[in-house]
Structures are given as C-alpha cells and as structure tokens.
Amino acid sequence: MKQVFVTGGSGFVGQNLIPMLIEEGYQVKALARSPQAVQKVEQLGAIAVRGDLTDAQQLAQGLKGCESVFHLAGSVNFFASEEELEKIHVQATKLLLSAAKEAGVKKFIDLSASSVIMNGKPIENADETFQSDHIVDGYSRTKLRAEQLVLQAHTNDFQTISIRPPMIWGKGDNNILPAVLEAIKEGQMQLIGGGKHHLSTAHVLNVCHALILAERAIPSGKAYFITDGESPVFKDFISQYVATQGVTLPDKSVSLGMAKIIATIMEFVWKTFKLNGHPPLYKALVNTLGLEFTLKDRRAREELGYKPIVTIQQGMKLMNS
C-alpha cells in the first residue's frame, strides 16, 4: 500500500481528498497542528502527524516511509499582509520541499491557484503560457513564488507538479460561500457590473480528482489549470450557489469603475487605521470576482488524463446531500 503525506488535511480540499485517497487504496498521513485538526483527519481515516510546517524535525518524522506529498496547506486570504503570507506559502513550502527530499519522497504535488496569472484586467481562455505582468494581491504573489519553488525543484528523482484551480467550491466550502452569505445578510452584496462576466470554477471533487491523477502521472515540473469544463455567467453561478442555502441573491449592482474607487478607499481606510478583518470591498476582491476570468484546461486533459467528474449542476445538487 502506497503511503502519502498530506498537509492542510483538515481544510476544505483536504477533507475531500483524504477519503478519496483512502478509497483509491492509499495510506494517508496528515499533518495536524491542533487537537481539532488531529481529530478531524483521524475521523477521515488518516494517520495524524502532530506538528506544523515550521518544524523541520516534525516534518522529517511524519514524512518517513511516504512516497508522495500532497501540499494543500495555505491561507486563502486576499487581504492578509504579504509578509505573513510569505511565511505561510513560500517559507513553509521551501522547508517542506527540503524535508521531503531528505526523506526520500519521490513525488511532490502542490495545490497552487489560478490567481497567479491575474493582472487586474479581464482574462479570457488563458492557458498555462499566460503570465501576469501585474499581480495585484499578496496572496497570489506568494502562491506564485511557492509554485515556482516547487517546479524548480523538479528532477528525475524528485518529481514535482502544481495544480492550479480557479475558485474552488462545493459542500463544506468555508471561504467563498460564507463570505457571500454574510455580505447578503449585512446588505452589502452588490454584483460588479451586474455580474454579467464569465468565470471558470473548480468543484472540490474535481480538484481532488486532478490531484490524484497528478500523483499517478509522471510529474513533469509543470503547472496545470483545472476547471469544471464550463464557464458560467458569474451572476447565474452565485445565484444558484446561495440558493442551495435557501438564500436569494439581491438584485443590486455597482459599476466596475465605481467598485474600483470604493475598493481603493476602503482598503486605504482599513490599512491606515489597522481595522480588524477586511473591508466589504477591496482591490483583490474586485479582481477575483468582478472581472472576466476563464481558463483552458487542455494541458491537464491531454497530459494527466483529466476530465471533470462532477458538473456544475451535479455539484449544486450535492450541496444538500
């Protein structure tokens, strides 16, 4: 039985990946830094490894006997300070790569993000050759630097690969859906430009399927976009998504130009007065949810054998299963 090591196992993607790995015959060891995380990954069927991504000794112990690493840990926070995200994404990935090599791990599969190509402008049908000339947020900049570390570490003996999903969604989503529901509750939800733009999405089960395919392929030191194979209109998608929770999306809209002005002002106020949390609107949010953003996943289909296992409509039905 092949043994694998998972970081971020108690997170949204990890909670879906661990059962899929076990069902596919893998033995899973999952890094867990809190008693709650330990309990969660053990309930999913993994062997909990107490520790975190800052302790090389704990990582070395946990990686013993593992053939592959699935590196999912990160902070999906587009408003956090870049200095903090540098530690979480870049420094932690650097340490994990080193520990994995020392432990004799053969394959390293990294969960990156498609936002590493966002540039504050509409992007249509981009493939992996597209590179941003202006990444506007610290989350995406640090994810790109971490991804580059992973891909640069690729050798014949230590094979690496990065999976780049766009907005990950599905049952158990603890990021996008709660934020939208809270905005609706507070009366702050407005669609930018009427929400008429298209976007690529990635259901969490499709992401996990791609990660497993990446482990089974001969990792190539490349990055791969993963999508649901559809590019819905943003308003239609979000309306369906919140409807699974019995909520109706309000018919409120703000122009893209005005959204950018409001975001700039709010971001300035929040940072100047060091307010807690993040403002209702900020530049990275406009960039990620207010602009056309569609991707091609042809490389993953051709080289990894990827195709979605869940459609958007099926994913919506699974929300209440």
First to last CA, the chain: 31
Among the ranges given (6-20, 196-210, 274-288), the one the predictor scored with the smallest mean pLDDT: 274-288
| pTM for the whole structure | 0.96
For residue 23, count other CB atoms closer than 10 A to its CB: 10
**% of the chain at pLDDT higher than 90:** 88
SS3 295: strand
- Asked if pLDDT for residue 10 goes beyond 90, the answer is yes
Q: Name beta bridge partners: 27.
A: 3
* Residue 306 known to be catalytic: no
Residue 168 burial by Cβ neighbours in a 10 Å radius (0-12, 13-18, 19+)? buried
The DSSP symbol for 233 reads: B
For residue 126, the SS3 value is: strand
Per-residue pLDDT tens over the stretch 44-101: 999 999 999 999 999 999 999 999 999 999 999 998 999 999 999 999 999 999 999 9
Name the pLDDT band for 285 (thresholds 50, 70, 90).
Answer: confident
Q: What domains can you pick out in the chain, each with its CATH number?
A: 3-174+201-227+295-311 (3.40.50.720)
Span 135-168, pLDDT tens digits: 989 999 999 999 999 999 999 999 999 999 999 9
Structure-block tokens of residue 130: 């597209």
> CA triplet 127, 129, 132: central angle to 5 degrees?
95
pLDDT of residue 268: 87
For the cut 90, the answer to whether the pLDDT of residue 282 exceeds it is no
Instruction: Assess whether pLDDT exceeds 90 at residue 281.
Output: no
Catalytic residue from among 139, 241, 282, 306: 139
Please provide residue 310's backbone torsions phi and psi, each rounded to the nearest 5 degrees.
Answer: -135, 125
Find the range with the poorest average confidence among 226-230, 282-286, 314-318: 282-286
**pLDDT in the model for residue 280:** 87
pLDDT exceeds 90 at position 42? yes
